[in-house]
């Protein structure tokens, strides 16, 4: 894999992530299941991270290097973008919900700053 492949993967992750964040934001606005969605997303991110470290890196750079490893890495990174980017609006909405008397912009600014 070279720098062109990584650029394509990065751009695709951003594009898929933004699309899923918009869709996830609409779903959260209708259901208001913030805590459950954050727990599900976090569990999926952890599972995908272990999949990436144990399987993808071994097939791409390890002793088990296979021919289809580029497509598998590309697919895994797309799924990671699909899952991880919606975590941002979910956390922002949940923080605004939890800190209700406070202005949402204050706590959102604090979260972005930290």
Phi, psi of 94 (to 5 degrees): -65, -40
For the entire predicted model, the pTM comes to 0.76
Spell out the residues 6+ positions from residue 109 whose beta carbon is closer than 8 angstroms to its own: none
State pLDDT tens for residues 17-76: 999 999 998 998 899 888 898 999 999 999 998 988 888 777 777 666 666 678 888 888
């Amino acid at each position: 894999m070279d720098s062109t492949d990584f650029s394509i993967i990065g751009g695709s992750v951003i594009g898929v992530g933004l699309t899923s964040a918009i869709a996830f934001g609409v779903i959260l606005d209708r259901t208001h299941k913030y805590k459950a969605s954050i727990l599900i997303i976090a569990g999926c991110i952890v599972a995908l991270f272990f999949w990436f470290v144990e399987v993808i890196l071994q097939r791409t750079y390890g002793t088990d290097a296979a021919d289809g490893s580029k497509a598998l890495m590309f697919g895994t990174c797309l799924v990671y973008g699909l899952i991880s980017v919606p975590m941002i609006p979910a956390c922002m909405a949940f923080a605004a919900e939890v800190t209700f008397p406070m202005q949402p912009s204050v706590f959102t600014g604090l979260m972005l700053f930290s």
